[in-house]
Chains A and B, each alone.
Chain A
Amino acid sequence: MMIDVQGLTKRFKDYVAVREISFTVGKGEVFGFLGPNGAGKSTTIKMLATLLRPSAGTARVNGYDIVREPAKVRRSIGMVFQDPSLDDRLTARENLEMHGMLYAVPKPVLKKRIEEMLELVGLANRQNELVRTFSGGMKRRLELARGLIHAPGLLFLDEPTLGLDPQTRTHLWEYISGIQESQNVTIFLTTHYMEEAEICHRIAIIDHGSLVALDTPENLKRMVGQDLVMIKCQDPVTAKRLLESEFNLTARSEGGVLIVDVPHGEEFVPKLAAGIPGIAAISVDRPTLEDVFLHLTGRAIRDETAGGIDHMRAMRRAKGRKS
């Protein structure tokens, strides 16, 4: 087991940021923490990474207690923060070298690791350039590489795609999937982009500091309802009758399109095409994680008003654009 959290709580004065959460994450798993801004995702990561002390509860990372054995915990983890933490006046390579020195990676090993990781994130040919000349996506990739230099068993990604454009985001997830496969590392990530959580093996949904659900994406979506299969055909009346006799399904008709609820829409499509003649088009509408969140909390994922840190972040972005 890579992470074992029992009743973890964090209070800031009167405000409870994380409320008695418990979960475990297995070795090699991609585990997602999904929730709106301010739900307690980053606070949880900070506690697990020994940057914040929990108010109550316990947690073990790689078998080490986060309060009593912080040095061992820190050695076991790699971290990609929500905000860039690179030194942008140093080169990509220098950033990786200093990381390796801090983690006491022996020189020859470090040299090899740096080459490998730069290759892995596609930055080998830019390694001697100053980080300040990098795009947002490149900086993120460099941070991924840096987080892996000391070969940690667990990689934390706190909102790894925040502030990136959609195309770069998709690209980054490809790198993340690649890393998970090639480095055999457990990944714990947070995001408030629902569609991005799909790559996780399991997802914990957190809202107002409490865990409201924890399951595979498939099972979570099943909580909301079944897949909708929409059928367009020449003879809706016959089709409707056949659906009832052959598949035991009651179809409803909306503007000439037949709609049925089935548990596994995609698997149902071939059977449907084989069993009913004269079908013009079939489409499947699956519940999304967005629907799951709405179902569980009665709200759509919302954006909180910006706090002090968000304000500083915005200032930094504005500054970055100018230079």
Chain B
Amino acid sequence: MRFIFKTSYVQDLGIFRDGVQRNWYVALFFGMLALPLLIPSYLVDMSLVFIYGLCGLSLMVLAGYTGLVSLGHAAFLGIGAYTHVYAVHDLGLPWVVGVALACVVTAISGVLVGLPALRMTGVYLSIATLAFALIIQEVLTRWEHVTGGLKGKPVDKPIVFGVYLGGDVAFYFLCLAFLIAGTWLTGNLLRAPTGRAWVAIRDSEIAAQSMGVNLAVYKTSAFAYSAALMGAAGALFAHKIGFLAPDIFTVLLSIQFLLMVVVGGLGSLHGAFFGAVFVALLPVAISQARDLVPVWASALASPFGKSAGSSAFLAVDQFVKKPGLEPGLFGLILVLFILFEPLGIYGRWRKIQLYFSTFPLYKRATFRRQKAYMRSERLR
């Protein structure tokens, strides 16, 4: 077990816990830099992981830190993507201005959603955001001279300050840069009074209010900031998929984002990234595994004779090629996750860390859940 020796208050203000943690992150950074050399064929998937990471960050601020669960975040992604593409293609603005505009427009729409949300909590708020997402999807479909309607809108490769960044490697680094910048900004807010006020609203609105937190200001600022992050992610997402259509930004995508933060672990930035990796890479992993399964099946059946081998191969092959197997498996894994690790991947990660740092003395009961009998009456 490592104890951090603190000699000044400044030590508690850093973005990293201590030098050791910082070194791990530097190592991770270099790992990310070297990744294009290691797995060149999966770079496209990795840039999606980074974009989803930004989305996870965005929803983590809102759902994980402020406690406002949104079921309409795909709408912000859509607004960001369309704004960016409209600014860059139709208005001919520079790429960077397009991204900035995407952030501003989504932030404003975030405020517009946040304002009525001040009077709602819990499930009711989620339903309101869901309605917002449906409205936005309809707007994207109907507002044809801006969005191209159902015909869709093709997206060119990104050209930033005259530099073409459309290649897989270049785009990978572009997404990485955005993710690092987004994480840094979010980390800054979370260690400042604004972040504390958000957490306070999540844990007890009434106490936050009594300590001087203006609920209206901080709830809308959480919505605006979260939406702005989503806007930046939307700009990148547009380039990633290369073609915008309203049916991309469905409720299903919003739910995927929500799963991301829940599976990753609510209330930690790590969780957002773990969730992004999980949601972006699990379908890839499932389809990879699906290609291998028939081969294994026939290999396992081969000692029973040639006909048994080939019939097993055929049966398994037919089964794994059934449509809907992928989302089904995805769902199954999710259910198992929430059943056995409600704290998410980050919670499991912390347990593993603790196991090794306290090695022979780890107690299983450390994380046992207890029933709390306090806070029976609450003012609402």
Task: Say whether A and B bind each other.
Answer: no
| A contact set with B: CB distance below 8 Å | none
| B contact set with A: CB distance below 8 Å | none
